Structure 1
Amino acid sequence: MHNMVDEMMAMQMPPDPDIAFGLMMRMHHQGAIDMANKELQSGDDAQMREMAQKMIKDQKAEIQELTTFLNGHVPHLNVPEFVTEQMKNMERSGRVTDLQIINGDTDHDFAMLMIQHHQNAIENATLELIYGHESAMQTMAKNIIEKQDQEISEIQTWLLANKNR
């Protein structure tokens, strides 16, 4: 997760919120896929493995949607406040990730890190709803918030049921 945050921080963000959101979420989703693949390689809990497989499928589909949007959209907005707020979100995410309690159990660590990862996606999607203007990205932002919030609840339920791992 640190690598993804570092890459996102190094990325030159365009001042168009819709394009910046698309670029950011494409990279963010790839980070989720990478973490889910690690869960599939080393995790042994059936529920976490199933969640990882679903995440990979869903994130790949959204990456395709984002890529299609980015390939067909010409930047036309200049909203530096969006970029500033998004950079604050990434910095906060990096700090929170540093504070995550991981214990070496792949399933537990995947769950803990994915909660923060999803929370960061919700924060970025919320900024898109505030600053963005393209209906495709607005719809995607709403869907991301809904899906990620649901998955956070599922992961929290799993963590409570498996707190002795």
Structure 2
Amino acid sequence: EEMKHDMSKMAMGAQSPATAGYEAAMKKMHKDMAIKYTGNADVDFVRGMIPHHQGAIDMAKVVIANGKDPEIRKLAEGVVKAQEAEIKQMQDWLAKHPAK
């Protein structure tokens, strides 16, 4: 196990484009999910889920650009389509239900 840990440290120097993409997407998603809570469960859920869904879209685009497996690429394309539609739905809802 110790050797495995050392190997992972070495691999970080030669980061693949996919790994860099995933790390950037995760960093952005976590930063954007750090919202100030309003106390309104519905509003807070939607405000947190929008960046969460955007993170899923960003990660799906990484595998679309770098992945090899056709099944996973197709899955990722479906994730993009579904999550974009849900983001729009949440943004529309949020516009009608501003935090008080």
Partner of 1:26: none
* CA displacement, residues 74-133 of structure 1 (integer Å, 9 cap, x when unaligned): xxxxx82211221111112122222x2320111000000110110000000000110001
Find the structure with the greater CA-based Rg. 2
Instruction: Check if 1:119 corresponds to 2:54.
Output: yes
Aligned partners of 2:57 and 2:79 also within 8 Å: yes
Deviation at residue 164 of structure 1 after TM alignment: 4.5
> In structure 2, how many angstroms separate the alpha carbons of the residues matched to 1:103 and 1:126?
32
2:27 to 73, 85, 91: 91
Q: TM-score, normalised by structure 1?
A: 0.50
Aligned partners of 1:101 and 1:112 also within 8 Å: no
Partner of 2:65: 130
For structure 2, list consecutive stretches of 5 or more residues without a partner in the other structure. 1-7
> In structure 2, how many angstroms separate the alpha carbons of the residues matched to 1:146 and 1:110?
21
Q: Give the secondary-structure state (helix, strand or coil) at the position aligned to 2:39.
A: coil
The one-letter code matched in structure 1 to 2:33 is: T
| Percent identity between the two aligned chains | 24
> In structure 2, how many angstroms separate the alpha carbons of the residues matched to 1:108 and 1:138?
33
Superposed CA RMSD: 1.9
* CA displacement, residues 35-78 of structure 1 (integer Å, 9 cap, x when unaligned): xxxxxxxxxxxxxxxxxxxxxxxxxxxxxxxxxxxxxxxxxxxx
> Deviating runs (4+, > 3 A) in structure 1?
none
For structure 1, list consecutive stretches of 5 or more residues without a partner in the other structure. 1-11, 16-78
Instruction: Check if 1:143 corresponds to 2:86.
Output: no
